[in-house]
Chain A
Amino acid sequence: MSFKPSPAQILPARLSEARWRPGLAAQPFHSEIFAPAIEASGAGLALALARDALAAAGEGEDARPVLWVQDRKAIRLGGRPFLHGLPPAWRHRLIHVAAATPEDALFALEEGLKCRDLACVIGEIAGNPRALDFTASRRLSLTAEKHGVRLWLVRLDAAPDLSSARMRWQARAAPSPRPRWNPSAPGSATWHAELFRARGHVPGEWMLNDDHSALRLCPDPAAQPASPPHPRHLVRPTVGRSLAARARA
């Protein structure tokens, strides 16, 4: 009986770039994102990383479904995905699994990773359930690497315990850049993401911004200009004489 080589073996042993950045082609197959449950930053970052990884792997246009697994506690704390708020390209691709217990959620995650027709799997499990121990995460890692389906597991309100995830993130919401036309409104999604364990990358912290088009790094919010420069010819300060007075002059 011959097995196809595991995608983990196909990947180069050492990831080429030491410092992580968005758009890297060689992304691991099992990532964990720790996020507080009172905000949607975990799911948002997972979606953004998934889209980034799929686009970098050249699978940006594929229409394969995405499996989103939540356990009951995660649904109660963080709600369900809302179709109108998803990225437009993903609205028709989502398959949602509402698992009653963490065990069922882990089962659904593993079955999803075994399915060749799924683009990726996103999981949300609240807390540190007993079922999600190192063995369970190792199972998920091996299954994901064997079948080549990527998993982003969002851990809501969880302590970073033992896990075999290849990349582990700590995410929280961050003040968003001010929108161009309404500076007093909330801007596009921004997170403070800390990569505290990764294979092949040095740990680091980033401010990540996703405006439904691409995931990008945003520089230090303090150094960022409050708003992009306005077109100068539309507005100009009316010091001294008014425009009408100038026209008359």
Chain B
Amino acid sequence: MLLADARALCPDLVTAPADPAGDLAALEKLALWAQRWGPWSAMDPPDGVLVDVTGAAHLLGGEAALLEDVVAACAARSLAVRAALAPTAGAAWALAHYGPPAAILAPGDDPLRLLGDLPVAALRLDDDVLTVLRRLGIKRLGQLAGVTGAGGDDPQAEAAARDALHRRFRNRRSPAANPLLRLDQLLGRVPEPLLPVTLRPMPMVQRRLMEPLRHRDLLDRVVGDLALDMVRALEARGEGARRLELALWRVDGEVLLRRIELAAATREAEHMLRLFARRLDDVEAGFGIEMVQLRASWSEPLGLSQADLDAAAESHGTALAACIDRLSVRLGAQAVTRPVLRASHVPERAQGWQPPLEPVPAMQGALRAHARPLKLLDRAEPIAVLYASPDGVPQRFRWRGTVREVVRVEGPERIAPEWWRERSTARLRDYYRIEDEGGRRYWIYRQGIAGDGRGGVPDWFLQGLFA
């Protein structure tokens, strides 16, 4: 019948638009409120709430008292309610919908004896299944149980009786379409998982202040702290705030409420603070504000987003570790090193290379009396001495194709080979610091001395460049 027809028949008709989503939300709130009687509850749309009161009835003085309390509490909120209590959710549902008011099925009772008179609709079945059952002549739970043989003494007879119904509904997997399954759930033979509703408290942060605030800048600072706390609270939940409520408790008990709504879920303290700053202009502090509370009464999921590393690096520069990471990723780890002292007096072994951020091993300091070149060649390069003074110091030599005149010399500094590391035939080195006619300063050495029995005429090498 159309609404217009109904109004034509009955002009006094009161109508209200249907609001299924609102009904569902109200039912969810009701289910949460119903957790006062048991630790968890589940919605049973469209109009039921299931509460698990296992082990909780004695808190209200027994099961009968609990049901009375349910009825009284709902009546106080002008809710018409039919309450029932049973060992299984199915039995409780059947009793609540089709049983006597405030029915209680004790665990010791035989469910089929008490529920046998209820119609098969008490099994929470679909309409077409109910039609099928009605056509089969099964109208009461007791009849269905009689057909299936449930409650009988002979398991074989029961199985044979079930088999007929089982084949009739063999391709009905949903519990609401399979009366056998529903019957087993009602009798507690098959578990029935329920989806409980859980309460998510809204993110709320607050500050109790030791001294009442009377000035705006202090209030701004407190609100800034609260915004940071709120950002952390929201971040932990992976949500962003859509509506924020700021409550200010005054010393005289007055509560000032400021509310902002945001266009998109946000988690930026700066943004929140800027929005609140405009709303706090007209706050009358009176004798002072002693507590400030910020809550996000509406929040939406907001994924954690990666901070923009590149943008931060653009404006502030990268950290040393990040810089070294970038370098060693592109150039290879062995390309980025730092020089460290090694326990050796042979120049090329006195310096080692290690990764730059590793701790430097403790080492005795270098000898300061010795002048060392700024740069050391990877391999000492042989030089051809063209003319040497009588004491053996080269006066003219050729290196990399050019002949150089030695103008000034200091040396020799004798560096003996490391006999514990090298072969016994390793020759000692006599190092000279020289400067040529152009002012270029080099570090050259003669490997061995004539007549040391470890080779022929000693060779000359150039190993380092002085600055």
Chain A residues at the B interface, C-beta cutoff of 8 Å: 1-4, 38-41, 43-45, 47-48, 65, 75-76, 78-86, 91-92, 94-100, 104, 107-108, 111-112, 114-118, 147, 149, 172-176, 182, 184-187, 189-190, 192, 210
Question: A221 to B197, alpha carbons, bound, how many Å?
Answer: 93
Question: A174 to B334, alpha carbons, bound, how many Å?
Answer: 36
Give the residues in chain A near B57, CB-CB below 8 Å: none
Give the residues in chain A near B464, CB-CB below 8 Å: 79, 82, 85
Give the residues in chain B near A82, CB-CB below 8 Å: 339, 347, 351, 372-376, 464
Give the residues in chain A near B372, CB-CB below 8 Å: 82, 84-85
Residue contact B340 to A47, C-beta cutoff 8 Å:
no
A-B contacts, 5 listed (Cβ < 8 Å): A81-B339, A82-B339, A83-B339, A85-B467, A175-B438
Give the residues in chain B near A182, CB-CB below 8 Å: 410
Residue contact B351 to A84, C-beta cutoff 8 Å:
yes
Question: A77 to B135, alpha carbons, bound, how many Å?
Answer: 103
Give the residues in chain B near A189, CB-CB below 8 Å: 374, 441, 466-467
Give the residues in chain A near B400, CB-CB below 8 Å: 38
Given A47-B467, A185-B433, verify A76-B378 contact (CB < 8 Å).
yes
The contact of B408 among A39, A97, A98, A184, by CB within 8 Å, is A184
Give the residues in chain B near A91, CB-CB below 8 Å: 339
Question: A182 to B467, alpha carbons, bound, how many Å?
Answer: 19
Question: A3 to B313, alpha carbons, bound, how many Å?
Answer: 11
Residue contact B320 to A117, C-beta cutoff 8 Å:
yes
Which of A78, A81, A115, A190 has the largest count of B CB atoms less than 10 A from its CB? A115
The verdict on B319 contacting chain A, using a C-beta distance below 8 Å, is yes
Chain A residue with minimal CB distance to B336?
A97
Query: What's the minimum C-beta distance from B354 to chain A, rounded to whole angstroms?
Result: 11
Give the residues in chain A near B465, CB-CB below 8 Å: 38-40, 78-79
Question: A112 to B335, alpha carbons, bound, how many Å?
Answer: 14
Give the residues in chain B near A184, CB-CB below 8 Å: 408-410
The verdict on B434 contacting chain A, using a C-beta distance below 8 Å, is yes
Residue contact B337 to A98, C-beta cutoff 8 Å:
yes
The contact of A81 among B320, B356, B375, B433, by CB within 8 Å, is B375
User: Number of B residues contacting the other chain (C-beta, 8 Å)?
Assistant: 58
Question: A118 to B371, alpha carbons, bound, how many Å?
Answer: 28
8 pairs of A and B residues whose beta carbons are closest in the complex: A44-B467, A116-B317, A185-B410, A117-B320, A40-B465, A115-B323, A84-B372, A186-B435
Give the residues in chain B near A190, CB-CB below 8 Å: 439
Residue contact A175 to B320, C-beta cutoff 8 Å:
no
Query: What's the minimum C-beta distance from B356 to chain A, rounded to whole angstroms?
Result: 5
The verdict on B360 contacting chain A, using a C-beta distance below 8 Å, is yes
Residue contact A117 to B410, C-beta cutoff 8 Å:
no
Besides A96-B339, A117-B317, A176-B439, 18 other A-B contacts (C-beta < 8 A) = A79-B377, A79-B464, A80-B378, A81-B374, A82-B373, A82-B374, A82-B464, A83-B351, A85-B371, A97-B331, A98-B331, A108-B327, A111-B323, A115-B319, A115-B320, A115-B323, A175-B435, A184-B408
Question: A39 to B434, alpha carbons, bound, how many Å?
Answer: 12
Query: What's the minimum C-beta distance from A94 to chain B, rounded to whole angstroms?
Result: 6
Give the residues in chain A near B317, CB-CB below 8 Å: 114-117, 147, 149
Give the residues in chain B near A107, CB-CB below 8 Å: 330-331
Given A3-B315, A107-B330, A173-B440, verify A85-B374 contact (CB < 8 Å).
yes
Which of A79, A97, A174 has the largest count of B CB atoms less than 10 A from its CB? A79
Chain B residues at the A interface, C-beta cutoff of 8 Å: 311, 313-320, 322-324, 326-327, 330-331, 334-341, 347, 350-351, 353, 356, 360, 366, 370-378, 399-400, 402, 407-410, 433-435, 438-441, 464-467
Residue contact A117 to B373, C-beta cutoff 8 Å:
no
Residue contact B338 to A95, C-beta cutoff 8 Å:
yes
Majority DSSP secondary structure for residues of A touching B:
mixed
Majority DSSP secondary structure for residues of B touching A:
mixed
Given A43-B374, A82-B347, verify A173-B441 contact (CB < 8 Å).
yes
Question: A112 to B313, alpha carbons, bound, how many Å?
Answer: 12
Chain B residue with minimal CB distance to A108?
B327
The contact of A95 among B324, B435, B441, by CB within 8 Å, is B324
Question: A175 to B378, alpha carbons, bound, how many Å?
Answer: 26
Residue contact B441 to A176, C-beta cutoff 8 Å:
yes
The contact of A47 among B315, B374, B433, B440, by CB within 8 Å, is B374
Given A43-B375, A186-B433, verify A97-B335 contact (CB < 8 Å).
yes
Query: What's the minimum C-beta distance from B113 to chain A, rounded to whole angstroms?
Result: 78
Residue contact B320 to A65, C-beta cutoff 8 Å:
yes
The contact of B331 among A1, A4, A108, A186, by CB within 8 Å, is A108
Given A47-B467, A107-B330, A190-B439, verify A118-B320 contact (CB < 8 Å).
yes
Residue contact A175 to B318, C-beta cutoff 8 Å:
no
Give the residues in chain B near A117, CB-CB below 8 Å: 317, 319-320, 323
Give the residues in chain A near B331, CB-CB below 8 Å: 97-100, 104, 107-108
Give the residues in chain B near A186, CB-CB below 8 Å: 408-410, 433-435, 441, 466
Given A108-B331, A111-B323, verify A4-B410 contact (CB < 8 Å).
no
Give the residues in chain B near A48, CB-CB below 8 Å: 467
Give the residues in chain A near B399, CB-CB below 8 Å: 38
Query: What's the minimum C-beta distance from A101 to chain B, rounded to whole angstroms?
Result: 10
Which of A75, A85, A92 has the largest count of B CB atoms less than 10 A from its CB? A85
Query: What's the minimum C-beta distance from B362 to chain A, rounded to whole angstroms?
Result: 12
Question: A187 to B360, alpha carbons, bound, how many Å?
Answer: 32
Query: What's the minimum C-beta distance from B233 to chain A, rounded to whole angstroms?
Result: 28
Give the residues in chain A near B466, CB-CB below 8 Å: 40, 44, 85, 186, 189
Chain A residue with minimal CB distance to B338?
A95
Question: A166 to B190, alpha carbons, bound, how many Å?
Answer: 85
Give the residues in chain B near A86, CB-CB below 8 Å: 374
